[in-house]
Amino acid sequence: MKSIEWIGAKVKIIDQTRLPMEEIYIETADHRVVAEAIRKLKIRGAPAIGIAAAFGFALGACEFHGEDKGKFHEHLARVKETLASTRPTAVNLFWALERMERVLQTYSSGSVGALKALLVEEAVRIQKEDVEKCRRIGEFGVQLVPEKAGILTHCNTGALATGDYGTAQSIITSAHVHGKQIRVYVDETRPLLQGARLTMWELSTLGIDATLITDNAAAFLMKKGFIHLVVVGADRIAKNGDVANKIGTYNLAVLAEKHRIPFYVAAPTSSIDFKIANGEAIPIEERDPSEITEAFGKRIAPRGVKVYSPAFDITPNELVTAIVTEMGVCRPPFSESIPALESAQETID
């Protein structure tokens, strides 16, 4: 099951807002529909957002008719702006758009038709690379999971959030495949219940022993000794190891430190923003108040109440035990290990 695919000259997206009750797909050749799907969380998860942005850019290229390269570039500048305006926190979105832009600039001497083909190839390549990255995250991360471990995870980090396999969930799946007899505890993840709706659906499909808990039950489970490690994903990681992830992640990191439980972050290197020094520079998206005041079509708070609804929080690097990437396990001091990752990546490129 893939969250997003390029099929012919169209993009096919599973509408995650309809899961788990309905499995509905969106097929489109319009980059604006992809942008709206990102904005409305029909496609979500940092790596999947990056893939969607690349696919949307490629669709935008294919929408252009004519051979005037100046107008083609102007058109794609507008396409990029539309896609970039959807969600501010997940760096994969901007990383993917910059990568597509580089292809456009590198081969600018080619015809419009040739450029369209190259952009489609690059978008598909981004997805294929993400699948391999997620698989490798699982291979490195499984080494951190003890036998018969209780694992707490937050939000959704599986195939729905990536090209396939997942980030934090790739570690969980790998541990299951290796026969480690794990038990997974899944935060419901208010207010949009990605844990309850999406992670539980994926883990059930995979046959992994999983138990759904309320967000505010985590401390009690830790105290009782049910949790041996916490594994989460990331939407953006600063150069010093500060981590932006779904709201509630910081809570878990504080609780894990209190109970002396390892707190692991799993993310591809495309989620590391090597340009920013720390988490203070990460923009935090604020969502519509209705996501808190309403649930399943019913109002659950008085009308007119004040609402603050950040979609993400920042976990300080000192609370992170390690960051698992496709290039290996990155450990403190992150001020040294993360720049080393950047250098290694530049060597590969």
Between CA 329 and CA 219 the distance in angstroms is 26
The SS3 of residue 168 is helix
Catalytic site includes residue 235: yes
| Contacts with 156 (C-beta within 8 Å, 6 or more apart), sequence order | 44, 45, 169, 189, 194, 195, 198, 199, 202
Between CA 153 and CA 249 the distance in angstroms is 9
In sign, the C-alpha dihedral spanning 297, 298, 301, 304 is positive
**Amino acid occupying residue 74:** E
Of 164, 187, 235, 242, which one is the catalytic site residue? 235
Tokens representing 235 are 């939407």
The burial of 345, by beta-carbon neighbours within 10 Å (0-12 exposed, 13-18 middle, 19 or more buried), is given as: middle
Tokens representing 152 are 């707490």
In sign, the C-alpha dihedral spanning 313, 318, 324, 330 is positive
Cβ of 22: how many Cβ atoms within 10 Å?
8
Between CA 76 and CA 71 the distance in angstroms is 9
Between CA 330 and CA 256 the distance in angstroms is 19
Beta bridge partners of 83: none
Query: Catalytic residue positions?
Result: 235
